[in-house]
Structure 1
Amino acid sequence: MKYSGWPEPGDLVVGEVDEIEDFGVFVDLKEYQDKQGLVHVSEVASGWIKNVRDHVNAGQTVVAKVLDVDPESQQIDLSLKDVNDHQRSDKIQEWKSEQKADNWMEIAFGEDIGPDRYAEIANELIAEHGSLYKGFEQAAIHGDEALDKLGLSEDDIDAIVETARKNVSVPYVTVTGYVDLECPGGNGVDDVKEALQAAEGNGDIPEDVELDVTYVGAPEYRIRVKAPNYKTAEQQLEASADRAVSAIKSCGGSGNFHRDRHTDEE
């Protein structure tokens, strides 16, 4: 997605070197529609510059800092020397991430999605999560919950979540569920303890998965799973709940798994 507006002074922008002149460099801004900025020769690099072409090449992708913007004269003044290596690396990564998210929008809503509809959905994600990429990332981690405050239809939310979970790679995800465990017999307390041990896997949990079971309020227990991806986390959560329910039922008790908690947390 390219922005139709103007960058703000102080923003970092990604551009491609278009023309190189003795007085400076013209840069096409990749994130903005039909916008070009000028890097004056004094802003190309620190120190005295004998030849601008010793510092930049035509077609080169650069990160620049916006110094001034004048929409009336269609002028954007940029600086290359005011961007350090860390800022340059972070901005390039951010730009590449947004390109991925742009592709995910087409996957979710079709390649022929119109600009107005694209903007409607993208603006909701950006307003809530700060960027298009982060919106998809949060959808991959938290599902519908990450998007329930957005002014989008259920179909739109489902499309985003489905696409995110198939395409977004995140460092880890955390999912939570609850089990109700009851056993009225004389050994009820011990039976519940055994069911909870079963839920924890009795030490048989993959190394890249963290699973813990905590007491919420009788008869409810929370199962929280942290895993490298959503699919694994969901599988481990459901398996944990199944083990607990099966164990308590084998002792003559009752159990059930649910997503939302029944009692108020303190």
Structure 2
Amino acid sequence: MPTKEFLLPDEGEVVLATVMEITPYGAYVALDEYENVKGFLHISEISSGWVKHIDRFIQINQKTILKVIRVNKTRKEVDLSLRRLTEEERRNKLILLKKEEKSKSVMKKVALDLQLSDSQIAAFTEKILEEYPSLYTMIDSLLEKGTVVLTKLSLPEDFAKKVYEVAKEKLAPPPVVVNEIIQLSSSASDGLQIIKQVLGSISKIEREDVKTSIKYVSAPNYRLSIMAPNYKIAEQCLRQANEILQKEAKKYRCTFSTKRI
């Protein structure tokens, strides 16, 4: 995870730290996510109970998750607590750390595939972190909005495409599917051709990450299925499909209705 140069954490923030030194009064730690920032974990902040031997709770070089309780920006001092850290906060931090590690592996694969130098990938990463708080938040946005997330930062198009490709392969969740029954009928002499034309109008939904299909069930019922990266996009496309179908059905004087399944 890239370090935050010349910054200090905020009070209440949950941080990853490495234990550097243990004293009778507490432990000095390095904050892994901040450059050249150390913190102090007082013995009274290790456990809610009495602590006689600190090394029973933490060890030198141990990675641990702690909560920031005080920050002196003038003296660049950070006081930390283990006992005030809730299990939910610890669990959420672990999830974020795992996501960020996966994001770093994406960038390593991109650098390897495009034969980027360390200085090039560092420069690209720096530009990303000027806009996003972490690599993972960028990738999360990238998977939802596409390569424009990176190209708008004036990053090369081939780099943007490769990051999207690798992230989709490594990090994208499995697609979701929403289904709906369409009831469509026409009393016209060429009603079958009209129905085919109306149903075919959903091809107007143009998204690379969305697949639509319509299958015959039994007259006048058809199943509309939309596969998308997430439910938000799937629901948006379903609404769009209904608007298109309703407009076309009205144009050809068809009877049209829908039912979610």
Q: Which of 132, 135, 148 is residue 132 of structure 1 equivalent to?
A: 135
- Residue 167 (structure 1) aligns with: 170
TM-score of the superposed pair, with normalisation by structure 2: 0.64
- Residue 241 (structure 1) aligns with: none
After superposition, what is the alpha-carbon deviation per residue over 1:70-112, rounded to whole angstroms, capped at 9, x for unaligned? Answer: 3442321111111011111110121121122123223334351
Q: Please say if residues 28 and 37 of structure 1, whose CA atoms lie closer than 8 Å, have aligned partners that are also in contact.
A: yes
* Number of residue-to-residue matches in the alignment: 201
Distance in 2 (CA, whole Å) between partners of 1:141 and 1:193 is 29
- Residue 256 (structure 1) aligns with: none
Query: In 2 relative to 1, CA 196–158 (structure 1 residues): closer, same or farther, beyond 3 Å?
Result: closer
**1:77 and 2:79 are equivalent in the alignment:** yes
Q: Which of 111, 115, 118 is residue 112 of structure 1 equivalent to?
A: 118
- Residue 103 (structure 1) aligns with: 105
Distance in 2 (CA, whole Å) between partners of 1:21 and 1:90 is 29
Gapped runs of 5+ residues in structure 1? Answer: 176-183, 204-210, 214-223, 238-266
Q: Which of 151, 154, 157 is residue 154 of structure 1 equivalent to?
A: 157
- Residue 214 (structure 2) aligns with: 200
Correspondences of 1:1-266 after superposition (within 5 Å): 1-4=2-5, 5-109=7-111, 110=116, 112-114=118-120, 115-124=122-131, 126=132, 131-144=134-147, 150=153, 152-172=155-175, 186-187=190-191, 188-192=193-197, 199-202=213-216, 212=224, 224-226=226-228
Distance in 2 (CA, whole Å) between partners of 1:79 and 1:194 is 61
Give the letter for the 1:11 counterpart.
E
Q: What's the Cα RMSD here? A: 3.4
Higher mean alpha-carbon deviation, 95-104 vs 15-24, is at 95-104
Aligned-partner SS, 1:157: helix
Q: Please say if residues 139 and 165 of structure 1, whose CA atoms lie closer than 8 Å, have aligned partners that are also in contact.
A: no
Query: In 2 relative to 1, CA 111–100 (structure 1 residues): closer, same or farther, beyond 3 Å?
Result: farther
Distance in 2 (CA, whole Å) between partners of 1:123 and 1:108 is 20
TM-score of the superposed pair, with normalisation by structure 1: 0.63
User: How much does 1:19 deviate?
Assistant: 1.5
After superposition, what is the alpha-carbon deviation per residue over 1:204-258, rounded to whole angstroms, capped at 9, x for unaligned? Answer: xxxxxxx836xxxxxxxxxx32369xxxx9xxx9xxxxxxxxxxxxxxxxxxxxx
Distance in 2 (CA, whole Å) between partners of 1:99 and 1:88 is 17
Q: Percent identity?
A: 26
Give the letter for the 1:36 counterpart.
K
Give the letter for the 1:186 counterpart.
D
Distance in 2 (CA, whole Å) between partners of 1:135 and 1:144 is 11
Give the letter for the 2:70 counterpart.
D
Distance in 2 (CA, whole Å) between partners of 1:50 and 1:94 is 33
Give the letter for the 1:119 counterpart.
E
Q: Please say if residues 106 and 113 of structure 1, whose CA atoms lie closer than 8 Å, have aligned partners that are also in contact.
A: no
Q: Please say if residues 127 and 153 of structure 2, whose CA atoms lie closer than 8 Å, have aligned partners that are also in contact.
A: no
